[in-house]
């Protein structure tokens, strides 16, 4: 089994609030498994293979990982979800044993087995701490991306910026909701569907790709930013650096129309009975369409696409009474 990022039980105790066994071998198998939970959004998926292996190798050679260096800081943020996920798994698997007589409940002379209800409560508590810590890990990496070039160059980095709404914090800020990190992970498939079904057809592919590229490279305003036509820059939390920022008019499209449209339509796709979410999402989509057509000159990718509906200039192929040139065929 590969090295993990804990060597002793005492190290684990610093990251979870529970009375745990002194036997490291009891939890070691679950620590190994925990790096892969949840699927597609696990610690391993977030870091990527190269960054994970760099952290593991550094820690394996480090006796006291307290030095002030990027990997030591990263170690702290990785340990919290890993420990909590490991004990969540242990609760699921550790209450029974495969004995000679089959599957039996684990017990002892001094302790009564915990009830199913108490086990479920503990499991949910570990899961909640782990998912919150995953969000903190992503936030830490994004705020310190320059310190982790292996992560920045990985597919894992690109995946964490794949969508218009990339975490629960952005989702909640956009539509003033309060979904959990775990709820957000469940929502991502609907966010993707909302983008493909409702945003891409309105913006057309060239503009859609430009906005997506800006999000991947961190040059677009995130939810919580503001941007408007003619403002010259975007402001607020999540604002990209001025030197590489997406132009203000493009940021305005994201923050004022696209982000809320995606959140509301994803909510409706997730729960089709939520007619209010559908109504709000449809309203933002129509506003996006109207805005693009009215200010098409500010978005050349859109103006030159088949999505642009020019309601002012006569069709260039249209014959008029005053025209001396007629188009046929």
Query: How do residues 170-196 score in pLDDT, each as one tens digit?
Result: 999 999 998 887 788 889 999 999 999
In this predicted structure, what is the pLDDT of residue 329? 42
Residue indicated by tokens 């503009």 = 207
Q: H-type helices in the chain, by residue range?
A: 9-13, 24-34, 43-47, 49-60, 70-93, 116-143, 149-152, 155-160, 168-175, 181-194, 200-203, 205-216, 248-253, 259-270, 275-294, 300-303
In this predicted structure, what is the pLDDT of residue 27? 86
In this predicted structure, what is the pLDDT of residue 1? 46
Smallest Cα–Cα separation from 208: which of 302, 295, 287, 309? 302
Residue 324 token pair: 């001396």
Euclidean distance between CA atoms 37 and 112, whole angstroms: 30
Residue 316 token pair: 């260039």
In this predicted structure, what is the pLDDT of residue 313? 59
Euclidean distance between CA atoms 24 and 140, whole angstroms: 28
* Phi/psi at 235 (5° precision): -140, 170
Spans of the chain below 70 pLDDT: 1-3, 19, 21, 40, 63-68, 93-116, 224-244, 311-329
The whole-chain average pLDDT of the chain stands at 81
């Amino acid at each position: 089994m590969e090295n993990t990022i804990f060597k002793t039980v005492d190290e684990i105790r610093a990251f979870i609030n529970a009375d745990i066994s002194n036997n490291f071998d009891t939890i070691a198998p679950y620590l190994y498994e925990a790096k892969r939970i949840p699927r597609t959004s696990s610690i391993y998926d977030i870091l990527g293979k190269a960054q994970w292996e760099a952290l593991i190798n550094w820690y394996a050679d480090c006796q006291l990982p307290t030095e002030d260096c990027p990997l030591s800081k990263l170690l702290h943020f990785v340990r919290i979800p890993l420990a909590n996920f490991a004990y969540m798994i242990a609760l699921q698997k550790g209450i029974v044993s495969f004995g000679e007589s089959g599957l039996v409940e684990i017990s002892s002379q001094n302790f009564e087995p915990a009830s199913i209800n108490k086990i479920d409560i503990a499991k949910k508590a570990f899961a909640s701490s782990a998912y919150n810590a995953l969000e903190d890990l992503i936030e830490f990496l994004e705020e310190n991306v320059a310190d982790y070039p292996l992560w920045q160059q990985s597919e894992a980095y690109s995946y964490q910026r794949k969508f218009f709404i990339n975490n629960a914090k952005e989702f909640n800020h956009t539509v003033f909701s309060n979904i959990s990190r775990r709820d957000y992970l469940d929502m991502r498939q609907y966010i993707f569907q909302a983008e493909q079904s409702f945003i891409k057809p309105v913006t057309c592919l060239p503009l859609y790709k430009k906005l997506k590229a800006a999000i991947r490279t961190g040059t677009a305003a995130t939810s919580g930013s503001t941007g408007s036509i003619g403002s010259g820059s975007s402001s607020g939390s999540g604002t990209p650096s001025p030197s590489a920022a997406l132009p203000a008019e493009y940021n305005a499209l994201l923050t004022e129309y696209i982000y809320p449209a995606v959140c509301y339509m994803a909510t409706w796709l997730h729960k089709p009975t939520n007619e209010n979410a559908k109504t709000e999402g449809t309203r933002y989509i129509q506003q996006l369409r109207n805005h693009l057509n009215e200010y098409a000159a500010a978005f050349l990718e859109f103006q030159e696409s088949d999505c642009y509906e020019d309601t002012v200039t006569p069709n260039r192929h249209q014959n008029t009474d005053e025209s001396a040139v007629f188009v046929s065929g």
